[in-house]
Amino acid sequence: MFDFYPQLQQRFAALRTRAEFFSLRYVRESGQYLSVRKNVAEPPSFRHDQGAMLTVRLKGVEAYAATNDLSHAGLQAALERAEAQAQLIADHALLDLSQEPVSSAQADYFSPNLDQAFPSLSECYELLSAESASVPKDERLVSWEVSLGLTNVEQIYLNSAGAELRQAQRFVFPGISVTAYDGNDSQSRSLGRENFGQQGGFDAISRSGLIGAGPTVADQALQLLLAPNTPHGKRDLLLMPDQMILQIHESIGHPLELDRILGDERNYAGTSFVKTSDFGHLQYGSTLLNVTFDPTIPEQLASYRFDDDGTPAHKAFLIREGVLLRPLGGALSQFRAGLEGVANSRACSWNRAPIDRMANLNIEPGDQSLAQMIGGIENGILMANNRSWSIDDARNKFQFGCEWGQLIENGELKGVVKNPNYRGISEQFWRNLSAVGDASTFKVLGTPNCGKGEPNQVIRVGHASPACVFSNIDVFGGDA
Amino acid sequence: MSTPLSQAEQFEGLVAWLRNAIQSPEQFTLGYDAEASEFIRFNKGKVRQAGQVQQASIVLKLINNGRHASVSVTLAGAPADDQQRVAHALKQLRETLPLLPADPYLRLNPQPWHSHNVQADPLPNTAQVLDDIRHAAAGVDLVGFYACGPISYGYASSEGAFGWHQANSFNFDWSLFHSNGQAVKASYAGADWNSERFAQRMQLAREQLAFLDRPVHVLAPGQYRAYLAPAALEEVMSMLCWGGFSAQALASKYSPLQKLYGGDASLSPLVSLDEHVSQSLSPAFSGEGYPRQDLSLVKQGKAHQQLVGSRSAAEYGLEVNGAPSGEAPSALAMAAGTLAQADILKQLGTGLYISNLWYLNYSDQPAARLTGMTRFATFWVEDGQIKAPVNTMRFDDSVYSLLGSELEALTADRELLLSASTYDQRQTASNLLPGALVKKLTLTL
Q: Give the range of the structural domain holding residue A319, as residue numbers without chain letter.
A: 233-476
DSSP state of A93: B
Residue A336 Cα, gap to closest chain B Cα (Å): 12
Residues B348 and B389 in one domain: yes
Gap between the Cα atoms of A475 and A272, Å rounded = 25
- Answer yes or no: is B397 within a domain: yes
What are A91-122's pLDDT values in tens digits?
A: 999 999 999 999 999 999 999 999 999 999 99
Residues B204 and B238 in one domain: no
**A230-259 mean pLDDT:** 98
B360 to A163, B186, B187: CA distances (angstroms): 43, 20, 21
Domain-ending residue, one of B209, B241, B265: B209
Residue A413 Cα, gap to closest chain B Cα (Å): 24
Model confidence at B387: pLDDT above 50: yes
- Name which of B53, B69, B371 is nearest A43 (Cβ-Cβ): B69
- Answer yes or no: is B214 within a domain: no
Task: Give A423's contacts in chain B (Cβ within 8 Å).
Answer: 394, 444-445
Residue B422 Cα, gap to closest chain A Cα (Å): 5
Task: Give A396's contacts in chain B (Cβ within 8 Å).
Answer: 392
Domain-ending residue, one of B165, B187, B209: B209
Q: Are B77 and A68 in contact (CB under 8 A)?
A: yes
B281 — pLDDT class (breaks 50, 70, 90): confident
What are B391-439's pLDDT values in tens digits?
A: 999 999 999 999 999 999 999 999 999 999 999 999 888 999 999 999 9
Q: Do B363 and A399 touch (CB under 8 A)?
A: yes
Residue A369 Cα, gap to closest chain B Cα (Å): 31
Q: Do B371 and A390 touch (CB under 8 A)?
A: yes
Q: Are A174 and A208 in contact (CB under 8 A)?
A: yes
Residues A91 and A237 in one domain: no
Residues B52 and B180 in one domain: yes
**A158-180 mean pLDDT:** 98
Which residues are A379's β-sheet partners?
Answer: A409
Task: Give A50's contacts in chain B (Cβ within 8 Å).
Answer: 74
**B62-75 mean pLDDT:** 98
Q: How many beta carbons lie within 10 A of that of residue A311, not counting itself? A: 21
What lies within 8 Å, CB to CB, of B317 at 6+ separation is none
**Amino acid occupying residue B18:** L
Mutation to test the A interface, candidates B1, B40, B373, B378, most A Cβ within 10 Å: B373
| Least confident among A377-386, A464-473, B182-191 | B182-191
Nearest residue on chain A to B371, alpha-carbon basis: A390
Domain-ending residue, one of A225, A251, A278: A225
Nearest Cα residue to A338 out of A165, A102, A46, A99: A99
Provide the pLDDT for residue B2. Answer: 45
What are B326-343's pLDDT values in tens digits?
A: 999 999 999 999 999 999
Residues A64 and A176 in one domain: yes
Residues A405 and A452 in one domain: yes
Task: Give A387's contacts in chain B (Cβ within 8 Å).
Answer: 362
**A287-301 mean pLDDT:** 98
Model confidence at A87: pLDDT above 90: yes
Mutation to test the B interface, candidates A399, A427, A450, most B Cβ within 10 Å: A399
Provide the pLDDT for residue B218. Answer: 93
Mutation to test the A interface, candidates B48, B209, B395, B400, most A Cβ within 10 Å: B48
B263 — pLDDT class (breaks 50, 70, 90): very high
**B13-37 mean pLDDT:** 97
Residues A210 and A350 in one domain: no
What are B185-232's pLDDT values in tens digits?
A: 999 999 899 999 999 999 999 999 999 999 999 999 999 999 999 999
Domain-ending residue, one of A184, A208, A225: A225
Nearest Cα residue to A443 out of A188, A205, A243: A243
Q: Do A186 and B126 touch (CB under 8 A)?
A: no
Residues B284 and B429 in one domain: yes
Gap between the Cα atoms of B246 and A177, Å rounded = 18
Provide the pLDDT for residue B325. Answer: 75
Residue B118 Cα, gap to closest chain A Cα (Å): 23
Q: Do A69 and B252 touch (CB under 8 A)?
A: no
Domain-ending residue, one of B209, B241, B257: B209
Provide the pLDDT for residue B357. Answer: 97
Residues B399 and B359 in one domain: yes
**B11-19 mean pLDDT:** 96
Q: Do B358 and A394 touch (CB under 8 A)?
A: no
Residue A62 Cα, gap to closest chain B Cα (Å): 8
Residues A330 and A395 in one domain: yes
Model confidence at A81: pLDDT above 50: yes
User: Rounded to the nearest 10 degrees, how much is the dihedral formed by the CA atoms of B348, B349, B350, B352?
Assistant: 20
Residue A181 Cα, gap to closest chain B Cα (Å): 7
* CATH number of A220's domain: 3.30.2290.10
Residues A275 and A217 in one domain: no
A480 — pLDDT class (breaks 50, 70, 90): low
User: Rounded to the nearest 10 degrees, how much is the dihedral formed by the CA atoms of A69, A75, A81, A82?
Assistant: 120
Residues B41 and B120 in one domain: yes
Nearest residue on chain A to B142, alpha-carbon basis: A267
Render B285-305 in DSSP notation, one character per residue: B-TTS-B---EEEEETTEE--
Task: Give A45's contacts in chain B (Cβ within 8 Å).
Answer: 69-72
A479 — pLDDT class (breaks 50, 70, 90): confident
Provide the pLDDT for residue B324. Answer: 80
The number of C-beta contacts closer than 8 angstroms across A and B is 256
Q: Do B72 and A64 touch (CB under 8 A)?
A: no
Q: Do A392 and B50 touch (CB under 8 A)?
A: no
Domain-ending residue, one of A225, A247, A268: A225
Provide the pLDDT for residue A104. Answer: 98
Residues A220 and A262 in one domain: no
Nearest residue on chain B to A96, alpha-carbon basis: B48
- Name which of A51, A85, A478 is nearest B50 (Cβ-Cβ): A85
* CATH number of B205's domain: 3.30.2290.10
Residues B201 and B299 in one domain: no
Model confidence at B1: pLDDT above 50: no
Give how many domains chain B has, as a whole number: 2
- In the predicted model, what is the mean pLDDT of chain A? 97
- Name which of A63, A68, A122 is nearest B54 (Cβ-Cβ): A68
**A39-58 mean pLDDT:** 98
Gap between the Cα atoms of B310 and A144, Å rounded = 20
- Name which of B74, B77, B361 is nearest A48 (Cβ-Cβ): B74
- Answer yes or no: is B354 within a domain: yes
Q: Are A50 and B92 in contact (CB under 8 A)?
A: no
Gap between the Cα atoms of A78 and A53, Å rounded = 8
- Answer yes or no: is B134 within a domain: yes
Cis before B25 (ω within 30): yes
Q: Do A67 and B54 touch (CB under 8 A)?
A: yes
Model confidence at B5: pLDDT above 70: no
Residues B202 and B227 in one domain: no
Task: Give A139's contacts in chain B (Cβ within 8 Å).
Answer: none
Q: Give the range of the structural domain holding residue B378, as residue numbers without chain letter.
A: 222-443
- Name which of B101, B144, B393 is nearest A267 (Cβ-Cβ): B144
Gap between the Cα atoms of A350 and A308, Å rounded = 10
Residue B419 Cα, gap to closest chain A Cα (Å): 12
Gap between the Cα atoms of B184 and B379, Å rounded = 11
What are B102-145's pLDDT values in tens digits?
A: 999 999 999 999 999 998 889 999 999 999 999 999 999 999 99
- Answer yes or no: is B216 within a domain: no
Residues B324 and B361 in one domain: yes
Helix axes B126-136, A72-89, angle to 10 degrees: 30
Residue B420 Cα, gap to closest chain A Cα (Å): 9
Give how many domains chain A has, as a whole number: 2
Residue A363 Cα, gap to closest chain B Cα (Å): 25
What are B73-97's pLDDT values in tens digits?
A: 999 999 999 999 999 999 999 999 9
Biggest distance spanned by C-alpha atoms of chain B: 74
Residues A300 and A176 in one domain: no
Buried (b) or exposed (e) across B194-219, using 16+ Cβ within 10 A?
eeeebeeebeebbebbebbeeeebeb
Residues A180 and A279 in one domain: no
Q: Do A46 and B92 touch (CB under 8 A)?
A: yes
| Least confident among A64-68, A148-152, B195-199, B284-288 | B284-288
Residues A165 and A244 in one domain: no
Q: Under DSSP, is residue B123 helix (H, G, I), strand (E, B) or coil? A: coil
Nearest Cα residue to B113 out of B63, B152, B154, B159: B159
Residues A205 and A255 in one domain: no
Q: Residue A132, Cα to own-chain centre: how many angstroms?
A: 27
Gap between the Cα atoms of B333 and B281, Å rounded = 13
Task: Give B69's contacts in chain A (Cβ within 8 Å).
Answer: 43-46
Which residues are B327's β-sheet partners?
Answer: none
Q: Do A391 and B359 touch (CB under 8 A)?
A: yes
Residues A163 and A275 in one domain: no
